[in-house]
Amino acid sequence: MIQINSQDHQSILELITNYSFAWDTADTDGFADLFTVDSVFKFYLNGEAEPSTVLEGREAMRQAAISRAGYFKRIGLITKHFMPNTVLESVDPTTVKAKTQALITWQILDHGGIPTPVQAGYYLSVIMNTSDGWKFQQREAFLNGVFQVKQIFGDPVDT
């Protein structure tokens, strides 16, 4: 087994952390920059055998963030992605597999402001060391929970 040096280990964990912060702050460019140009991201929701969404390429990541995270920002919904545990496995000197647990909360300050856990699960990632640093090349999200805002908060007014 190839060992991951401490500097690469820290950089990979920072990539995973930056994913959370970029999404949660609707930093669409920052979010897209976490992925390789040819990346693929698949979302498996509530035990689906096939992905409900497949995003291909960095620009698709940017557009997804513009759409979903932008909508959340417009309605005042605050997301928090908690990624407490990650296991890394080195495939080769430039490729690492990661399995990361996730808990996601939503809150709307005008609806009491209490953070509500809405999704839990894990992410499987293939992370590549590129000329621009470590980036997600493949990502799969296996999440269970609520995915429609109205299920928790009713129909927030789009501002």
Domains in the chain, please, with CATH? 6-145 (3.10.450.50)
Strand-strand pairing, 133-145 and 35-45: parallel
Express each pLDDT in 97-116 by its tens digit: 999 999 999 999 888 889 99
Q: What is the mean pLDDT of the chain?
A: 94
**Integer Cα distance of 35 and 145 in angstroms:** 25
Which whole number is the average pLDDT over 140-158?
Answer: 87
pLDDT-derived band at 155 (thresholds 50, 70, 90) equals confident
Can you tell me the mean pLDDT for 136-159? 87
User: What's the whole-number mean pLDDT along residues 30-51?
Assistant: 98
- Nearest Cα neighbor of 116 from 143, 80, 148 is 80
Instruction: Assign 159 a pLDDT band (cuts: 50, 70, 90).
Output: very low
Residue 82's alpha-carbon distances to 106, 115, 151, in angstroms, are: 11, 12, 21
Name the pTM for this structure.
0.93
The Cα–Cα gap between 155 and 149 comes to 7
d(CA 143, CA 75): 23
Per-residue pLDDT, averaged over 18-40, amounts to 96
Q: What is the widest separation between alpha-carbon atoms in the chain?
A: 53
